[in-house]
Structure 1
Amino acid sequence: MNITSTDISLNRRNLLLGAGALGATGLLTGCLGTGGSGQSQPASSGSGASGGLVTLQNSQSDPKPKEALETLIGDYPGEAEINTVATEQFRAQLSTYLTSSNPPDVLTWYAGSVSRNYAAEGLLLDLSDLWSDGGVCANFPDALRELSTDESGKQIFVPTNYYWWSVFYKKSAFEEWGVEPPQSWDDFLALCEELKGRGVTPLANGIGASPWMASGWFDYLNLRINGAQYHRELLAGEHAFTDPEVEAVLEEYAKLIPFFDPNMASLSYQEAVTPMVQNKSAMYLVGAFVTQFFPEDQREDVDFFSVPTIDPNVPSAEEAPTEGYFAAAGTDNPQGTMELLTYLASPESQQTFIDISASSNLPTHPDVDTSNFSPLVQKGIELLQNTEEITQFFNRDSSDALQATADDALTRFLANPSDIPEILANWQAAAERVWNQ
């Protein structure tokens, strides 16, 4: 080995089928996790897989997840190599990877619409055998099977982890400031006002190298104001970004802008954690992968609360993005590709990843050891069990191309929210170009 159309609607019962597997003290990196690029490095050789050399193109470039995948490839009993690049570079080059005359065999990416879009172009290998009786994914929850299935009914994705989004904070900081997690949206806005009055930045964020982070609050406000069904339909092109429903979302979003870190446009999502570590900022809407960026001695201090309800008539919803692997249809080594995917999706490999990657995600294999789940992860499981609807994230419920339109529109909005109708008109025009491709 070398180390070198509309989305499926998921409810909590389907997603958590076989919930004994759902949780861990640490797992894969964030929603789109960025970081430094990595180069191929040598690892121990071995024998086993009969399909020959297999290449893994890896977007998980944060140090701990990268180390975890390098360890797995180093321990693989066949011939495999891994190449790691920063996620934004990976995203920009993904179509090129898949259409190359010599594509990587296996690639890390995301389940849902974003995978189905590539499958619809004929770019992904049929992985249905891995989901059939005796396959490594045969006993995965039905909702994960649906999320990994293309429009023709083939499975084209192997999910290995997912995680929840919430508003994360430090318990000791809240205690020091004499505040508590809010119970309502009005409480949340009042808490932001109070913290700002004390000289504390209420809301951390990092949209510099990771502009997709601006979609986190958009998603949640749309879920809280208009509901998950409208949100999914909007991202599928069944509604317009110029709708009054979307304008209402940005009007609510604008209320938060005075509370964000004024340096957020120069920070990545990882760097946005530093002011929280220093008690200079208080709360961060982000995925559970955020725990890996806190010092080890602060991780048990991290807690979270769900974005509070805005309209009690709207069903509850949470985001639980799912990650894993797909394979290039153009691989010249389909046998070795299937063997590597079987290895990566096995309970042993998922457990190894859990032990090394140091974030707080949930494994997908029902045989992963759950005995050492942290209280934070147990609380995350409970959150997903008790919500009425589950979505993924903006690009995963739409496409990587539509995410680019959101990045542009929402970063412009955060910099200057004075003309919401114009921002939405430009967003709709850009979205129509994507939908009409």
Structure 2
Amino acid sequence: MPRRSLLRGMAAGAGAVALPSLLAACGDGPGDGVTLGSNASDAVPKRAYADAFAAYEKKSKKPVKVNTVNHENFQENINRYLQGTPDDVFTWFAGYRMQYFARKGLLADISDLWRKFDGFSDAVRKQSTGEDGKQYFVPYYYYPWAVFHRKSVFRTRGYEIPENFDQYRALARQMQKDGLTPFAFGDKEGWPAMGTFDYLDMRANGYDFHIALMRGEKSWTSPQVRQVFDLWRSLLPYHQKGANGRTWQEAAQSLQGKKAGMAVLGLQHPGQQFTAQNRADLDLFPFPEIDPAFGKAAVEAPMDGFLMAKKARHREAARDLLSFLATPQAELAYLKRDPNNVAANGGAGTQSYDALQKKAVRLMAGARQISQFMDRDTRPDFASTVLIQALQQFIGDPDDIDGLVNSIERQKKQIFAAD
């Protein structure tokens, strides 16, 4: 998950400098088949995608020529790639990350395909829609963020799942008295803390305010944002110390080792640190309610999927592949190999899911809004050059909230005025 480099590359891409593509597209492609640019260079997702594409080839009798590029390099060069000679279809992200390239005119409108899609919720459709109201994105899987814990620890200690923020803090205090670190926490990479901020903001101020804040439409010096940092400051004494020097893997391992009681992470993260034997002991609950007016309606669930390049050379073949990738059959072919995600299509069912995936599905079933994570819901240059450093600064010195929010707001105005 090299998000810092990902964001740095996206920030550079925001300058729209048309340098030669560093991603080697696949030429004219094989006959009536389709070329696909993939960032799934890690072994598990690479094999999982191969299974899905093989299922399509078997069904359609049309070949898919996959151009897999190192995950980090793909992200760093995506802007140049799309302005050069891109593949017909490529892997990418929902929400603002998709909308950014749609606004630049680099994506193909697939609204007519969406009219035939079935099984996607209104919240998923919204994350697949550009600012112009057209659909560009085929959602494939998501991994919700929640509060993870071990069932056996809660059962042995008699802990109850907290429903609201006061109960959440009370549980943290009790864990601390019991000799546990309440919250496993590592922010060395700069992005893990973003999930905690997002949930605090959405629970205290609502989804609409949070998204407006990410889009530069609300002030970071507002009372609402100050409240978010005040709430977070009240939780920090229960977090692992030295978080800015700890990786997310190390934090998740402390949860796995029963040294910490809880961790705010995405489904993929603790799932990768638990073995098949003890994964059954891993559980989650939604981030607790802060303001009853907003409840727990918003869920943080980054969503990955596919886009069609505006410059696609095999348009009909690309559209045919996208139509297949929107089906439960295609998503289940992937998840059979990679169980640390959940199908975006509700028609995929849960028969093949383990208990944790089923819990994630139930979490999403109650969602009225879906956020995509801070570094996906705002400008990449703002996330990489301001927010990463600001949150790490807060973790290191949580007492200067005034100085922090004033600094963020000043830099935000400069960056968003650059458009």
TM-score, L = length of structure 1: 0.79
| Cα pair distance change 1:411/1:165, threshold 3 Å | same
Shift of 1:351: 0.8
Counting only pairs closer than 5 Å after superposition, residues 156-195 of structure 1 correspond to structure 2 as 156-195=136-175
Long gaps (5+) in structure 2: 7-22, 24-28, 58-62
Pairwise mapping of residues 25-40 of structure 1 onto structure 2 (< 5 A)?
none
Who is 2:267 aligned against? 288
**Contact map agreement 2:267 2:340 (CA 8 A) in 1:** yes
1:110 alignment partner in structure 2: 93
Aligned with 1:395: secondary structure? helix
Residue 191 of structure 2 aligns to which amino acid in structure 1? W
Q: Deviations over 1:63-110 (max 9, x none)?
A: 4323312333456530412314235x54333222222x2224333222
Structure 1 segment 397-412 matched on structure 2, within 5 A: 397-404=377-384, 405-412=386-393
**How far apart are 1:353 and its partner, in Å?**
1.0
Provide the residue aligned with 2:277 in structure 1.
297
2:240 corresponds in structure 1 to 261
Give me the identity figure in percent.
Answer: 31
Residue 357 of structure 1 is aligned with which of 330, 335, 338? 338
Give me the whole-angstrom Cα distance separating, in 1, the residues matched to 2:370 and 2:55.
35
State the distance in 2 between where 1:226 and 1:399 align: 21
Q: Is the 1:292–1:357 Cα contact (8 Å) retained in structure 2?
A: no
Q: Deviations over 1:397-429 (max 9, x none)?
A: 333333323222112211222311221122112
The alignment covers a number of residue pairs equal to: 389
Question: Residue 237 of structure 1 corresponds to which residue in structure 2?
Answer: 216
Q: Distance in 1 between matches of 2:364 and 2:64?
A: 38
> Among residues 30, 47, 50, which one is paired with 1:67 in the alignment?
47
**CA deviation vs aligned residue, 1:286-306 (integer Å, no higher than 9, x gap):** 222232431111111111122
SS of corresponding position for 1:221: helix
Question: Would the aligned equivalents of 1:65 and 1:357 in 2 still touch at CA under 8 Å?
Answer: yes
Report Cα offsets for 1:350-385 as digits up to 9, x if no partner: 11111110214233162x243234343333333333
* Residue of structure 2 in register with 1:322 after alignment: 303
Q: Aligned to 2:203, what secondary structure does the other structure show? A: helix
1:96 corresponds to 2:58: no
Once the two structures are superposed, residues 242-268 of structure 1 have per-residue CA deviations (whole angstroms, 9 ceiling, x without a partner) of 112101111111122232223533444
What's the Cα RMSD here? 3.0
Is 1:83 equivalent to 2:68 in the alignment? yes
Maintained 8 Å contact 1:207/1:269 = yes
- Distance (Å, rounded) in 2 between the aligned partners of 1:61 and 1:267: 25
Flag the structure with more relative contact order, 1 or 2, with Cα contacts below 8 A and sequence separation at least 6. Answer: 1
* 2:220 aligned counterpart, secondary structure: coil
Q: Would you say 1:223 and 2:208 are equivalent positions? A: no
The answer to whether the 8 A contact 1:31-1:287 is kept is no
Further displaced range: 181-190 or 117-126: 181-190
Give the 3 Å change call, closer, same or farther, for CA 327–352 of structure 1 in structure 2.
same
CA deviations over 1:29-48 (Å, ceiling 9, x no partner): 999999xxxxx9xxxxxxx9
The verdict on how the C-alpha distance between 1:286 and 1:63 changes in structure 2, with shifts beyond 3 A counting, is farther
The amino acid across from 1:94 in the alignment is I
Q: 1:62 to 1:431 in 2, by over 3 A?
A: farther
Instruction: Describe the shift of the 1:227–1:153 C-alpha distance in structure 2 as closer, same or farther (beyond 3 A).
Output: closer
Equivalent in 104, 109, 134 of residue 126 of structure 1: 109
Q: Which residue of 1 aligns with 2:258?
A: 279
1:15 aligns with none
Range 295-304 or range 329-338, more displaced: 329-338
| 2:363 matches 1:383 | yes
Q: Which residue of 2 aligns with 1:23?
A: none
Alignment-derived partner of residue 373 in structure 2 = 393
Secondary structure of the equivalent of 1:144? helix
Distance in structure 1 (CA, Å) of the matches to 2:246 and 2:165? 27
1:208 aligned partner? 188
Q: Specify whether residues 315 and 124 from structure 1 end up closer, same or farther in structure 2 by C-alpha distance, changes over 3 A only.
A: same
The answer to whether the 8 Å contact 1:127/1:156 transfers is yes
Structure number with the higher helix fraction is: 2
Partner amino acid for 1:86?
H
Match of 2:229 in 1: 250
3-state SS, counterpart of residue 396 of structure 1: helix
TM-score when normalising by structure 2: 0.82
1:252 maps to amino acid = L
Q: 1:378 to 1:217 in 2, by over 3 A?
A: same
